[in-house]
Structure 1
Amino acid sequence: MSDASFPMTEVLGQPALCVRAPDGAQATVLLHGGHVVSWIPAGADEQLYLSPKAVAGPGLAVRGGVPVIFPQFEQRGPDVSLPRHGLARQRAWMLDSQRAGRDHAQATLVLRDDEATRALWPHAFTLELTVSVSGARLDLELHAHNPGTTTWPFAAALHTYLAVSELGQVRLQGLEGCHYADSVLRTEAVEDHPEKRFHGEIDRIYAQAPSLLLRDGPRRLAIETEGLTDAVIWNPGPDKCAALKDMPADGWQQMLCVEGARIMHPVTLGPDESWSGRQSFTLLSA
């Protein structure tokens, strides 16, 4: 691979980078939040859901795409004093590098601590997101480094909103036997369905989730993770969706969040230690 210079564009009023491989595969990433808002595999259609009412800007979180969750998930911790879902998704990231090969393209964005982040979370950190596209595949790698002198724990997630034709048509395979925490019912259980179906609101964290397969009519999407040991499955359902200002009332029917995450057992980084987690998507058939 060699250095490249991908075109900049504007999405939601924010500067965005279009990472494009020679075969036509492409992903669009906002500098705001290091937020992937589009993934189009070579010869295929858009795979991510971005709300038509989404907004972006300082202090705002984008509804859809792939929000980067760090250093806490929701308000579960490990530092419950932080804003919901942490501080990475609402801040401006910087473009660090761009590279391209014969059948591959990637870009890395970086977020570092500053006076504003330290006022919320008093730690030095460097967070990198590398976005890679090739053919039918998207790879998202999150890398955290502790350049400071204190030890800190964190949770993380790649809060991926997948576009679906209609929620009731979706089947998700691979979760059977996984222990989960259900935030809607406030219960814990073990998944007993070999093929999970969806009818409305769901908000679950599955521990030690394996590779998954999403079926949506003829579409097959393989989902793999490394270092992100949990899977979050989320859809707001009709009632909560109608209450969201940045979602159309029927938007819940066109999306399903399948998120690679590290929540149940947060990572702890000592001085000069690093961690990486990856979520990969491969469109097997459209």
Structure 2
Amino acid sequence: MNVSTLNQTEVLGQPAVHIVAPDGAQATVLLHGAHVVSWVPAGAHEQLYLSPTAVAGPGRAVRGGVPVIFPQFEQMGPDTSLPRHGFARTRAWEIDSHHRGREHSQVTLALHDDADTRALWPHGFRLELTVSVGARRLDLELFAENTGQTPWPFAAALHTYLAVSNLANVRLQGLEGCRYRDRLLGGSAVEDHPEKRFHGEMDRIYSQVPDLLLRDGPRRLSLRSDNLPDAVVWNPGPQKCAAMNDMPAGDWEHMLCVEAARIESPLTLQPGETWAGLHTLVLAED
């Protein structure tokens, strides 16, 4: 691939790539963590939240955008010896390929094991994140391959921070009937609200989630996933947000994480096996 055809730039002091579809849809991806930090659909505004005080660098996670979580979520395993949310989001990825078609533009970034990752997690692997934009659609495909000699279990998530006008305006549809684990209050239950509303801190892992619809005033954003059966719904609320050094105190009102994930049922890849999970966001026409 001739990377000179890519628009290479810098965001948060880190190298990044900026892809633009023929219709004007665009996305920006850091090589640090393969972290999507911007998605602007054709004829629309920014859809992702990126903290204005976010930082990036070796070993540091970016507050906002779409962090790649692998091979564990939070410190829930399957390997609790690893750093929180694993290591993929804080590593330098490489540009693998780029394609600009008649209706979309896409870039694939790759990460593979090296001496540093094997010191944390003694396994051979290859990860790819493919980011594709066109019209009012963003596709994120996470691919994993076991390139080593031993099997390994993993969890994964695409930790999507959505920008919202104000949290009080947001309605999330599609969770009714899904069982969830409440990480604030403990225990589990089944969601009984056809339209979820938000008033502050929330941290839930929903299982076997269908397509979702986020409503924010006139805005309609559909969220669909394949092979990522769980959804994490998270907001830090005012107290935790005020304690963060990489997020303004009032910005909890302007973001909501709705993350496509595989957490509750980790998979094990045998040597040579592969897995892929897809997360698709579509902004409805005005």
Q: TM-score, normalised by structure 1?
A: 0.98
Alignment-derived partner of residue 280 in structure 1: 280
1:117 corresponds to which residue?
117
Residue in 1 aligned with 2:132?
132
Q: Which consecutive residues of structure 2, in runs of 5 or more, have no partner in the other structure? A: none
Helix, strand or coil at the partner of 1:58:
coil
Query: What's the CA shift for 1:267?
Result: 1.0
With the length of structure 2 as denominator, give the TM-score of the two structures: 0.98
| Aligned-pair CA distance for 1:4 | 8.3
The alignment partner of 1:126 has SS state of strand
Q: In 2, Cα distance between the equivalents of 1:181 and 1:84?
A: 19
Where does residue 49 of structure 1 map in the other structure?
49
- AA at the equivalent of 2:278: R
CA contact (8 A) 1:53 1:248 kept: yes
**Partners of 1:241 and 1:228 in 2: CA distance:** 28
Report the CA distance between 1:110 and its aligned residue. Answer: 0.2
Query: Which residue type is aligned with residue 26 of structure 1?
Result: Q
Q: Distance in 1 between matches of 2:188 and 2:115?
A: 39
Retained in 2: the 8 A contact 1:211–1:223?
yes
Q: How many Å separate the matches in 1 of 2:4 and 2:153?
A: 35
Q: What are the residue-to-residue correspondences of 1:176-255 with 2, within 5 Å? A: 176-255=176-255
What amino acid maps onto 1:145 in structure 2?
E
Contact 1:175 1:210 survives alignment (8 Å): yes
> What do the CA deviations read for 1:198-257 (whole angstroms, capped 9, x no partner)?
000000000000000000000000000000000000000000000110000001000000
Between the two proteins, the alignment pairs up a number of residues equal to 285
Identical aligned pairs, as a percentage? 69
Aligned-pair CA distance for 1:3:
9.3
* Separation in structure 1 between the aligned mates of residue 256 and residue 94 of structure 2, nearest angstrom: 29
Q: Who is 1:101 aligned against?
A: 101
Separation in 2, partners of 1:271, 1:9:
36
Distance 1:5 1:258 in 2: 33
* d(CA) in 2 for partners of 1:143, 1:248: 33
Matches of 1:250 and 1:166, distance apart in 2: 11
Structure 1 match to 2:87: 87
- CA shift at 1:285, angstroms? 3.5
Distance in 1 of aligned mates of 2:194 and 2:135: 29
Given that 1:6 and 1:20 are in contact with CA atoms closer than 8 Å, whether structure 2 keeps it comes out as no
1:154 partner letter: F
How much has 1:6 moved relative to structure 2? 2.0
- The DSSP-based 3-state class of the residue aligned with 1:76 is coil
- 2:265 aligns with 265
- How far is 1:187 from its partner? 1.6
Retained in 2: the 8 A contact 1:139–1:278? yes
Name the counterpart of 1:151.
Answer: 151
Q: Partners in 1 of 2:267 and 2:45 — Cα distance?
A: 36
User: Residue in 1 aligned with 2:10?
Assistant: 10
Counterpart secondary structure, 1:92? coil
RMSD in angstroms over aligned alpha carbons? Answer: 1.1
Deviations 1:169-211 (A, max 9, x none): 0000000000000000012000000000000000000000000
Tell me, in whole angstroms, the C-alpha distance in 2 between the residues paired with 1:52 and 1:258: 20
Provide the secondary structure at the position in 2 that maps to 1:285.
Answer: coil
Distance 1:7 1:279 in 2: 24
Alignment of 1:156-171 (within 5 A): 156-171=156-171
| Unaligned runs of at least 5 residues, structure 1 | none
The one-letter amino acid of 1:280's match is T
Q: Could you tell me which amino acid in structure 2 is paired with residue 212 of structure 1?
A: L
2-11 or 180-189: bigger deviation:
2-11
Cα deviation digits, residues 131-163 of structure 1 (max 9, x gap): 000100000000000011100000000000000
User: Match of 1:40?
Assistant: 40
